[in-house]
Amino acid sequence: MTLCATPESLRAAVQALAGHTHVFLDCEGQTLGEVGGKLSLLNLGVVHQDHSSRLQTFLIDVLAFQGSMAQQLNPIFDILRSEQVFKVVFDGRMDASELLNGHGVQLKNALDLQVADIASREQHESVDRRLQRLVGFLPQYEVNRNRALYLQVQRLNGLDYAMREHGVHSAGKGYVDHDKWLQRPLSQASLHYAADDIRKIWLLYNKFVEKGYISNGTLTQQTARYLALHGTTRHPRNDKYKSHGLFPLGILSGPVSGATVRCQGCRRDLPISAFSCPSHPSNGFCFVCRAINSKNGGTVTTTSFRRRIIDYDDLYNDFDNEDLYNDFDDDDYFHYGRGF
User: Where a domain ends, among 227, 252, 268?
Assistant: 227
What single string gives the DSSP state of each residue in 180-221?
A: GTTSSSPPHHHHHHHHHHHHHHHHHHHHHHHHTGGG-TTHHH
Residue 158 binned pLDDT confidence (cut-offs 50, 70, 90): very high
State whether 11 and 95 are in the same domain. yes
Torsion 206-208-214-219 (CA) sign:
negative
Of the chain, the percentage scoring pLDDT greater than 70 comes to: 85
> What pLDDT does 238 receive?
86
Is 233 inside any structural domain? no
Q: What is the pLDDT of residue 48?
A: 87
pLDDT tens for each residue of 206-219: 999 999 999 877 99
Residues 174 and 313 reside in one and the same domain: no
pLDDT computed for residue 263 by the predictor: 95
C-alpha to C-alpha distance for 228 and 38, rounded to whole angstroms: 18
Taking Cα atoms as reference points, which of 65, 64, 76 lies closest to residue 17?
A: 76
Across 282-294, average pLDDT = 91
Range in 13-17, 185-189, 282-286 with the lowest mean pLDDT: 282-286
- Under 8 Å between Cβ of 129 and 301: no
User: Does 235 fall in a domain?
Assistant: no
309 plus 259 within the same structural domain: yes
What is the extent of the structural domain holding 295? 126-155+241-322
Predicted confidence at residue 58, as pLDDT, reads 99
Q: Write the pLDDT tens digit of every residue in 35-87.
A: 999 999 999 999 987 756 899 999 999 999 999 999 999 999 999 999 999 99
pLDDT above 60 (res 264): yes
Confidence (pLDDT) at 103: 98
- Highest-confidence segment of 41-50, 183-192, 289-298: 183-192
Model confidence at 222: pLDDT above 90: yes
What single letter denotes the amino acid at residue 204? Answer: L
**223: pLDDT strictly greater than 50:** yes
pLDDT at 174: 78
69 and 16 inside one domain: yes
Residues 151 and 168 in one domain: no
Average pLDDT, the chain: 87
Span 10-23, mean pLDDT? 97
314 domain-assigned: yes
Do 192 and 289 lie in a common domain?
no
Say whether both 203 and 314 belong to one domain: no
Q: What average pLDDT does the segment 154-169 reach? A: 96
Residue 236 lies in a domain: no
Q: Between β-strands 38-48 and 54-61, what pairing exists: parallel, antiparallel or unpaired?
A: antiparallel
Q: Are residues 151 and 70 in the same domain?
A: no
Write down the pLDDT at residue 51.
59
Tell me the torsion sign for CA atoms 114, 115, 118, 120: negative
Do 215 and 293 belong to one domain? no
CA dist 159 and 165 (Å) reads 10
Phi-psi map region of 270: left, alpha, beta (phi>0 left; psi -120 to 50 alpha):
beta
**In the chain, how many domains are there?**
2
| 30/36 Cα distance (integer angstroms) | 8
Rounded to two decimals, what is the model's pTM? Answer: 0.86
Residue 231 has what pLDDT?
A: 82
pLDDT at 310 over 50: no
User: Given this model, what pLDDT does residue 305 score?
Assistant: 32
* Residues 46 and 11 placed together within one structural domain of the fold: yes
For the domain that residue 172 is a member of, what is the CATH number? 3.30.420.10
CA 284 to chain centre: 25
What pLDDT, on the 0 to 100 scale, is given for residue 232? 86
Residue 106 falls inside a structural domain: yes
pLDDT at 327 over 80: no
Q: What pLDDT sits at residue 257?
A: 80
Strand pairing partners for 89?
A: 112
Considering only 89-93, 144-148, 275-279, which range has the smallest mean pLDDT?
Answer: 275-279
The pLDDT of residue 323: 35
Both 95 and 201 in a single domain? yes
Confidence of residue 317 (pLDDT cuts 50, 70, 90): very low
For residue 278, tell me if it sits in a domain.
yes
- When mean pLDDT is compared over 221-225, 250-254, 256-260, the highest value belongs to 221-225
**How far from 159 is each of 174, 245, 333, CA to CA, in Å?**
14, 12, 9
Q: Return d(Cα 249, Cα 265) in angstroms, integer.
A: 12
In a domain, 201, yes or no: yes
Provide the pLDDT for residue 276: 87
- Total number of residues shown for the chain: 340
Same domain, 162 and 305: no
Structural domain contains residue 215: yes
What confidence score (pLDDT) does residue 279 get?
66
